[in-house]
Amino acid sequence: MRFFDRALDNGRSIRVRTTDRSDGDFAIGGVALELEDRRRHVIDRPWLWLHQVHGAEVVVLDDRAIDFVCGASADASVTGRTDVALSIQTADCVPIALWSDDGVIAAVHAGWRGLEAGVIETAVTELRSQSAGSLYAFVGPSIGPECYEFGDADLDRLVNRFGNEVRSETTDGRPALDVRSGVRLELARLGVVLESEDIDCTACNEQLFSHRARAETQRQAMVVWIEES
Ligand SMILES: [Zn+2]
C-alpha cells in the first residue's frame, strides 16, 4: 500500500491510499464480505464506491445515507463529510484524488475515455461549487506511455483536444498515448495544483494489476478521506 498525507489549514488532513497486489482485489462484484474486509483493512470507515462507466458523471455525497449513493453509475464522487472515504478502482486508468484547502474532496476515475468525456472538469466544477478554496491533486499509478500502444485515429483526436504532449511511443516505437500527460494538462487548464504524481506503470510493475499487460480482472483501489485531527 502507498501512503500520501497532507495537512490542511483547518487542522484536518487529507489521506490518500493506493493499494497493490498484496492488499488484494478491489474489483466490484467479488465476494461482498471479503471486499468489505479488504476495504476496512485499508481504512475502517464506510467506502463510497462507484460503478465506473468511463464517463463524466459526478455524484455528490451530502448528508444522505451513503447507501443511496454507493454503486451509482459515475466516475467521480465529491463530499465534504469526514465520516466516509471516497474510492476508485483501477487497473490501468488514472486514479485522481482532489481536495480544496478547506476540506472538500473528490475521487476521480480517468482513463482516456473519461478524460475525453471531461470527468476531471465535472469533478472540479462540483468542488468549486462547494468550496472557494484552492484545489490540489494527487495522481496515482496508471499505465505509462511506454506500454500504452494506441490507435492513430483515437490518438489524433486526443492530440487535437489536449495537445501534442499526449502523443508518445511505446518502447518498441509504436504510437502510444501518454494519458498521464493528458491528466496533467487538464489539471493545469482547470487551475488545480498537482501536489503528487505516482509515475509507477501498472503494466511494468507486477505488484500492480494491469488489464492491458496481463488481462487481469482484479483492481487496485485508491481511497481518499478527511481525517479530523
Ligand atoms: Zn510500462
Residue 229: what pLDDT? 75
Q: Quickly tell me which residue has 495537445 as its cell.
A: 163
Nearest C-alpha neighbor of 26 from the set 41, 15, 14: 41
* CB of 214 closer than 8 Å to CB of 185: no
CA of 122 to the centre of ligand 1 (A): 29
Is residue 152 a part of any domain in this protein? no
User: What integer is the mean pLDDT of 147-171?
Assistant: 97
Residue 10: what pLDDT? 86
What cell numbers appear for 199 in the block? 509515475
CA of 109 to the centre of ligand 1 (A): 19
For residue range 88-125, list pLDDT tens digits in order: 999 999 999 999 999 999 999 999 999 999 999 999 99
User: What integer is the mean pLDDT of 136-145?
Assistant: 98
Is residue 7 a part of any domain in this protein? yes
CA of 168 to the centre of ligand 1 (A): 12
Is residue 166 a part of any domain in this protein? no
Residue 163 has pLDDT above 80, yes or no: yes
Q: Distance between CA 2 and CA 16 in Å, rounded? A: 8
The pTM assigned to this predicted structure is 0.97
Residue 146: what pLDDT? 98
**Phi, psi (deg, nearest 5) at residue 127:** -60, -45
The CATH number of the domain where 42 resides is what? 3.60.140.10
CA of 147 to the centre of ligand 1 (A): 4
For residue range 20-65, list pLDDT tens digits in order: 999 999 999 888 999 999 999 999 999 999 999 999 999 999 999 9
Q: What is the number of structural domains in the chain?
A: 1
Is residue 87 a part of any domain in this protein? yes
Name the residue range of residue 95's domain: 2-143+185-227
Is residue 107 a part of any domain in this protein? yes
Q: How many CB atoms lie within 10 A of CB 151?
A: 10
Q: Distance between CA 104 and CA 131 in Å, rounded? A: 7
Is residue 136 a part of any domain in this protein? yes
Residue 134: what pLDDT? 97
Q: Which stretches of 67-104 are assigned E, i.e. beta strand?
A: 76-79, 85-90, 94-100
CA of 174 to the centre of ligand 1 (A): 13
CA of 184 to the centre of ligand 1 (A): 18
CA of 18 to the centre of ligand 1 (A): 18
